[in-house]
């Protein structure tokens, strides 16, 4: 059987499963989510082993940034799903006297979830939680670059869903770029994509051919602003944690620092101290280092080229090990906006620093002149500065006096804006993303107001009274 035929069979099974109506039952969805929760716990060791093989993630990082977050989200969704799924009543108006309006939350149908390699479990399975909660069937396409994680996900889905519900409810399709291309040529009812901006454009173009709605979770250069009134030592600690988590291979990692010149030297000193505190003075020398590796040789070479081509001053790190695809956490000072490293999202453990003295001209102006970032981080003790920055710069989401941690909240939508993507998810936002919100007006038959009909005498006068 050809590959295309296999894909079409997978898609057809998903459509048939959806049309049998089982997923419309909220209790069925809750049961499936409980099984998902149990499956994650049952496969925890194997999933951690896969993350270790693909990215050298320590058990602590694997659990705290992937598996634990999934378990937490499933728990929240299970508790709230019955309430979310109920039709929502809305206010009426004088024109609709006697009627009541309701919004029904119905699944789109069969959804396609295409996920990246940097958080292969979280970014595949977190959207799946929302898809299941909303009553859809799903096809998952994990990244081929995280091959061990993709195989572990396939085993998890087979053990959790397929053995209980049969084929079609949730399917995993492994393969490379050609597989993604073949999937995108098929018609789905919704597409959820996480990845780079370039591929996001390809996904959107493919979806447009079928008028398929999409969510795009992309990336971009997320700025980290440290003002002169910041708690500099604490800022350094939180920045180092957020930047070098997963070796900087995080879509919301601080991409570069904009620091007030008055506190730049102090910040750099504390950044260096925190790197030693977290990773040791020689992070690459330990044979069994817990420093995550760069995903493959191509990305390693790209980062090495950025490092070698920089015109800035390396004040910390800069050491690489090609055989293990490791790069030490690196701080680069004296960077300008024209430096090569500022041309694209870094997606690695390189942290450039640009100093400023004028917030308006040297921070806000340059940032808003560039594509809207996925995240922004601001360190300052001034409420006035907070509101000024937040009102002037558009970005997907972010933190004041912290980094990356907005991702941990399942009560706030996570997503981008402009070039960093559109649409949001996590918790109820995931349920909303994977639901069509169908408006229904239920009209009374006990009476019929005549003023809307053209036969009513003085109808215009009555219409103007009600519609104002």
- For residue range 27-76, list pLDDT tens digits in order: 999 999 999 999 999 999 999 999 999 999 999 999 999 999 999 999 99
Specify the number of domains making up the chain. 2
Query: CA 436, CA 265: separation in Å to the nearest integer?
Result: 52
Same domain? For 235 and 199 the reply is no
Q: Is 184 in contact with 202 (CB distance < 8 Å)? A: yes
Question: What per-residue confidence (pLDDT) applies to 1?
Answer: 39
Average confidence (pLDDT) over 282-303: 88
Write down the catalytic residue from 186, 224, 251, 399: 251
Structure tokens at 94: 């004088």
Give the position of tokens 């419309």. 24
Q: Is residue 132 part of a domain?
A: yes
Give the predicted TM-score (pTM) of the model.
Answer: 0.93
Q: Is residue 25 part of a domain?
A: yes
Same domain? For 64 and 147 the reply is yes
DSSP per-residue letters across 344-369? S---SSEEEEEEES-HIIIIIHHHHT
Q: Is residue 189 part of a domain?
A: yes
Expressed as residue numbers, the domain containing 120 is 3-218+418-440
Same domain? For 204 and 80 the reply is yes
pLDDT confidence band for 2 (50 / 70 / 90): very low
For residue 61, indicate whether it is catalytic: no
Q: Is residue 163 part of a domain?
A: yes
Q: Which residues contact 83 (CB under 8 A, 6 or more apart)?
A: none
Measured in degrees and rounded to the nearest 5, phi and psi for residue 139 equal: -115, 120
Q: Is residue 434 part of a domain?
A: yes
For residue 251, indicate whether it is catalytic: yes
pLDDT in tens, 196-227: 999 999 999 999 999 999 999 999 999 999 99
Same domain? For 214 and 317 the reply is no
pLDDT in tens, 192-201: 999 999 999 9
pLDDT confidence band for 10 (50 / 70 / 90): very high
Q: Is 13 in contact with 137 (CB distance < 8 Å)? A: no
Write down the catalytic residue from 61, 186, 217, 345: 217
Same domain? For 328 and 352 the reply is yes
Average confidence (pLDDT) over 15-19: 96
- Helix locations, 138-186, DSSP H: 147-157, 163-165, 177-185
Strands of 100-107's sheet, edge to edge?
88-90, 100-107, 435-442
Maximum Cα interatomic distance, the chain, rounded to a whole number of Å: 91
CATH at residue 166: 3.40.605.10
């Amino acid at each position: 059987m050809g590959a295309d035929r296999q894909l079409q069979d997978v898609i057809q099974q998903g459509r048939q499963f959806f049309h049998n109506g089982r997923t419309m039952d909220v209790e069925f969805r809750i049961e499936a989510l409980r099984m998902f929760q149990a499956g994650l716990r049952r496969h925890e060791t194997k999933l951690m082993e896969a993350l270790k093989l693909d990215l050298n993630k320590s058990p602590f990082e694997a659990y705290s940034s992937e598996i634990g977050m999934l378990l937490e989200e499933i728990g929240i969704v299970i508790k709230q799903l019955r309430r979310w799924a109920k039709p929502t009543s809305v206010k009426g108006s004088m024109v609709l006297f006697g009627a009541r309006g309701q919004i029904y939350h119905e699944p789109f149908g069969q959804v396609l979830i295409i996920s990246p390699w940097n958080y292969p479990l979280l970014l595949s399975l977190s959207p799946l939680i929302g898809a299941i909660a909303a009553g859809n069937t799903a096809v998952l396409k994990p990244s081929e670059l995280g091959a061990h994680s993709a195989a572990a996900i396939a085993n998890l889905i087979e053990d959790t869903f397929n053995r209980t519900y049969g084929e079609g409810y949730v399917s995993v399709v492994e393969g490379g770029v050609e597989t993604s291309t073949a999937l995108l040529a098929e018609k789905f009812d919704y597409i959820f994509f996480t990845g780079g901006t370039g591929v996001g454009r390809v996904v959107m173009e493919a979806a447009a051919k079928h008028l398929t709605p999409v969510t795009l979770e992309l990336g971009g250069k997320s700025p980290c602003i440290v003002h002169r009134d910041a708690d500099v030592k604490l800022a350094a600690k939180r920045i180092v944690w957020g930047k070098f988590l997963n070796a900087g291979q995080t879509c919301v990692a601080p991409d570069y620092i904009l620091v007030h010149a008055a506190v730049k030297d102090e910040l750099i000193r504390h950044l260096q101290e925190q790197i030693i505190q977290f990773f040791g003075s020689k992070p690459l020398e330990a044979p069994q280092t817990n420093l995550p590796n760069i995903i493959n040789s191509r990305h390693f070479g790209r980062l090495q080229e950025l490092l070698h081509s920089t015109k800035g001053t390396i004040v910390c790190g800069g050491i690489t090990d090609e055989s293990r695809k490791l790069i030490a956490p690196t701080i680069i000072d004296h960077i300008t906006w024209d430096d090569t490293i500022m041309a694209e999202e870094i997606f690695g453990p390189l942290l450039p620093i640009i100093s400023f003295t004028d917030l308006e001209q040297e921070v806000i102006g340059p940032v808003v002149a560039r594509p809207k970032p996925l995240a922004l981080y601001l360190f300052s003790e001034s409420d006035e500065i907070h509101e000024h920055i937040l009102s002037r710069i558009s970005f997907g989401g972010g933190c004041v006096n912290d980094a990356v941690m907005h991702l941990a909240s399942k009560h706030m939508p996570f997503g981008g804006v402009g070039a960093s993507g559109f649409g949001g998810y996590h918790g109820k936002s995931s349920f909303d993303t994977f639901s069509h919100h169908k408006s229904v007006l239920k009209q009374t038959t006990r009476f019929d107001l005549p003023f809307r009909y053209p036969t009513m005498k003085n109808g215009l006068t009555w219409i103007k009274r009600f519609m104002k």
